[in-house]
Amino acid sequence: MLYYSTRDIDNISTASNAILKGLAHDGGLFVPAGTINKLFNKKLLTGNYNELAVNIFSQFLGDFSIPEIKSAIDAAYNEKTFEHQAITPLSQISEQTYCLELWHGPTSAFKDIALQVLPHLLTTAALKSGDDRDIVILTATSGDTGKSALEGFRDVKGVIIIVYFPEKGVSEIQKLQMTTQEGLNVHVIAVQGNFDDTQAGVKQIFNNKVINAKLANEGYRLTSANSINWGRLLPQIVYYFYAYGELVSRGHIQAGKAINFVVPTGNFGNILAGYYAHRLGLPINRLVCAANRNNVLSDFINSGQYNKNRPFYNSLSPSMDILVSSNLERLLFELNGHDPDQIKNWMDQLSKEGLYRLDKETLSKLQEMFWSDYADDQETLATIADTYRSNNYLLDPHSAVGKNVLGKYLAQENSDHPSIILSTASPFKFTGSTSKALYNSSDFMDISELELMKTLSQKTGIPVPKNLAELENKAVIHRQVIAPLEMAEHLEKQLLT
Ligand SMILES: *Cc1c(COP(=O)(O)O)cnc(C)c1O
């Protein structure tokens, strides 16, 4: 499989080049250039997670050998990195509803699935390119991505990882996860300011020609690990097949029966992987896109108008608080028959006016496959409480948004297809919200999130994931705090002296 940009179909790129570059030269996103062959067959429904992953990766990574793919996958998904041997276990929570738990990795959030394997894809791709400079990964994080990237890239040869987080913009647990990070090639730096300041600082470094030239001279190449990289999207296709295979092997459905997937959505990466799974032939009835109060996506899917001119809310599902979902550009390109001019037009309108509107034909294609609604914070808390009481299953706030929106879908569509909710974080990563939903919140005044983790575990009998339980005994290693304006100079000092 070769790749081109959503904004330019005349330049063809290999898979390894697409992964190394991340973003195409014209600001577009890399997408598969050839036809996507139907892959769905009985063979894909048996075998373990890693075998399935090798099968799917090899469809898309044309210039990687099978042994290269296999070694990347085995290094990413094993008993040391994931606490559950199934990697992404499927829990049934009621007759027709399941949760696919994507959070058994080293940081208890779904981003581990992609960020455990990306470093291996990236270093293999770098070897192929013949460029032997060290890769420097710069990441600005609002929480989950930073820790997940640190765990993925720690001690990977030929890579240095630097994570910047807003000093006051992450939760207590998220901050501890990052400041206690071990590894010889990791740097974690708090930035005085909010997430936007932090992200702007990283962008300035990427755009700073002087620094880039100096670093290149000294044998470094800067790159990012952000969610528009094809190397992050591809690993997410695997678990859609895995979950489907589970339903078949448990005898809950017959092979060929279509099912629904419900996806708590932010940057549109997770749900887009579901779309590609469908293109590979996986029988999917509907992809249900679940949004929180920042409901720009549900408005878009229902009306065809994408409008980011609206207030931004901090919700209880912070990893979905987003107004511009970058990966959507890939879906639009697939739906409009690979027309880069139309994509440029829409993206131009989005950056100039903050909005664009789909034509009727593209909208109806979008609505054939996608259904969408949103849940606000009250509904999210109520869903956590209801699901715990009725199904004895504890959801984190992101997955609860999914469950709530599934309820709205079923009330409207009367679907007899089983539904799988993609569960994106451990409930212990967001103990503040889960405890508030289940118990009288005044009992928990002044209790730290770390203490709450233990209380919640005692009350529910559910064990705390190992990586979170260990936090209280870990030493804080990273204490640097800098101003946004110091970021570039600080990086130079770190790498060049
Ligand atoms: C990143 C994230 C999401 C959103 O996923 P996208 O691929 O950005 O749509 C949802 N839930 C959690 C817990 C996340 O970390």
Q: Is the pLDDT of residue 440 over 90?
A: no
Ligand 1 atom nearest the C-alpha of 144 is: 15
Interval 440-463 mean pLDDT:
87
pLDDT digits (tens, 9 = 90+) for 124-141: 999 999 888 999 999 988
The alpha carbon dihedral of 150, 153, 157, 159 has a sign of negative
The whole-number pLDDT of residue 256 equals 94
Q: What string of H, E and C letters represents the secondary structure of the chain? A: CCEEECCEEEEEECHHHHHHHCECCCCCEEEECCCCCCCCCHHHHCCCHHHHHHHHHHHHCCCCCHHHHHHHHHHHCCCCCCCCCCCCCEEEEECCEEEEECCCCCCCECHHHHHCCHHHHHHHHHHHHCCCCEEEEEEECCCHHHHHHHHHHCCCCCEEEEEEEECCCCCHHHHHHHHCCCCCCEEEEEECCCHHHHHHHHHHHHHCHHHHHHHHHCCEEEECCCCCCHHHHHHHHHHHHHHHHHHHHCCCCCCCCCEEEEEECCCCHHHHHHHHHHHCCCCEEEEEEEECCCCHHHHHHHHCEEECCCCCCCCCCHHHCCCCCCCHHHHHHHHCCCCHHHHHHHHHHHHHHCEEECCHHHHHHHHHHEEEEECCHHHHHHHHHHHHHHHCCCCCHHHHHHHHHHHHHHHHHCCCCCEEEEECECHHHHHHHHHHHHCCHHHHCCCCHHHHHHHHHHHHCCCCCHHHHHHHHCCCCCCCEECHHHHHHHHHHHHHC
Write out pLDDT tens, residues 340-387: 999 999 999 999 999 999 999 999 999 999 999 999 999 999 999 999
- Mean pLDDT of the region 432-438: 91
For residue 486, the one-letter residue type is E
pLDDT, residue 45, reads 77
Residue to mutate (ligand 1; options 141, 287, 398, 426; most atoms within 8 A of CB): 398
pLDDT in tens, 189-241: 999 988 878 888 888 898 888 999 999 999 998 888 888 899 999 999 999 99
Site to substitute for ligand 1 among 262, 270, 315, most atoms within 8 A of C-beta? 270
pLDDT the model gives residue 496: 84
| pLDDT on residue 474 | 95
**So what's the pLDDT on residue 428?**
95
Q: Assign 40 a pLDDT band (cuts: 50, 70, 90).
A: confident
Spatial contact of 401 and 99, defined as CB atoms under 8 Å apart: no
Bigger pLDDT: 45 or 95?
95
Per-residue pLDDT at 449: 87
Pocket test for ligand 1, best of 319, 372, 403, 428 (most atoms within 8 A of CB): 319
In the numeric block, which tokens belong to residue 89? 């276990």
- Nearest atom in ligand 1 to the alpha carbon of residue 396 is 13
Active centre residues (catalytic):
111
- Give 284-324 pLDDT, tens digit per residue: 999 999 999 999 999 999 999 999 999 989 899 998 988 88
Pairwise pLDDT comparison (143 vs 22), residue with the higher score: 22
To the nearest 10°, the Cα dihedral for 360, 366, 367, 369?
150
Give CA–CA dist 434/188, Å, rounded: 28
Q: Which CATH class is domain 90-110+231-429?
A: alpha beta
Q: How far is the CA of 497 from the centre of ligand 1 (A)?
A: 37
* pLDDT average, residue stretch 392-396: 97
- How far is CA 435 from its chain centroid? 25
Which tokens belong to 323? Answer: 């107004």
Residue 445 pLDDT greater than 80, yes or no:
no
Stretch 9-16: mean pLDDT, rounded? 95
Percent with pLDDT over 70 in the chain? 100
Share of the chain above pLDDT 90, in %: 80
Side-chain half-sphere of 211: how many Cα atoms within 13 Å?
Answer: 18
Does pLDDT of 43 surpass 90?
A: no
Mean pLDDT for the chain overall:
94
CB 383 within 8 A of CB 375: yes
The residue contributing the CA closest to ligand 1 atom 15 is 319
Q: How many CB atoms lie within 10 A of CB 137?
A: 24
Mean pLDDT across 76-93 = 97
- Cα(77) to ligand 1 centroid in Å equals 20
Q: Tens of pLDDT along 234-276? A: 999 999 999 999 999 999 999 999 999 999 999 999 999 999 9
State pLDDT tens for residues 168-190: 888 888 999 999 999 999 999 99
Give the per-residue pLDDT at 447. Answer: 85
Atom of ligand 1 nearest to the CA of 429: 13
Residue 480 has pLDDT above 90, yes or no: yes
pTM over 0.85: yes
pLDDT at 459: 92
**Is residue 95 predicted with pLDDT exceeding 90?**
yes
Q: Residue 12 phi/psi, 5° resolution?
A: -100, 145
Ligand 1 pocket by Cβ (under 6 Å):
109-111, 144, 227, 264-270, 319-320, 398, 424-425
Summarize pLDDT for 305-315 with one digit per residue, the tens: 999 999 989 89
